[in-house]
Amino acid sequence: MTNFLPALHEGHAPITLQTLFRDALEAYDDWEEGMPEPIVSFEDKVLPVSAVFEWMRPCTDLMPANMIGIVTDRLTKPWSGAGPLDAMTFSTAARVMSILVRRRLRRFGRGSIEAFAERFSHPMHSVPSPSPDSAGSRPAGL
């Protein structure tokens, strides 16, 4: 499903993947309880945020500070990185976010694609079929 995403090069992600990761973090941050897994788009294709997080697991690039807060706000223990500035790699963030998505999906019970397909597989408004004995009681023109 993610074979259209750019590959990492020796653990480094192109800026387009870093931007997609940021979009996935923001979509997760906006995810309301009980709603299906959020999706993001990349080059006119949509994919669930979990796919983005899984794709970025091998990425050794440091995350920008403005993205770290979205991840650390979700942790139950304070974040303490190995570096002097508490730096976090995309790999660490991706692993944390993958776990958080799985936990939320387990509570909700399904992913975005399944919910999306279910939503559009049933008609939104069903009009009852007229019974044979009610055909004469219709107003003219209907």
| Number of separate domains in the chain | 1
pLDDT digits (tens, 9 = 90+) for 99-114: 999 988 888 765 555 5
Q: Is residue 89 part of a domain?
A: yes
Residue 130 forms part of a structural domain: no
Q: Please check whether residue 141 lies inside any domain of the structure.
A: no
Structural domain boundaries, residue 64: 15-113
- If one counts every other C-beta atom within 10 angstroms of the C-beta of residue 81, the result is 14
Provide the whole-model pTM: 0.67
- 30 assigned to some structural domain: yes
The distance of Cα 103 from the centroid of its chain, to the nearest Å, equals 13
Q: 122 CB contacts (<8 Å, ≥6 apart)?
A: none
- Residue 140 maps to a domain: no
pLDDT of residue 129: 47
Domain presence at residue 48 = yes
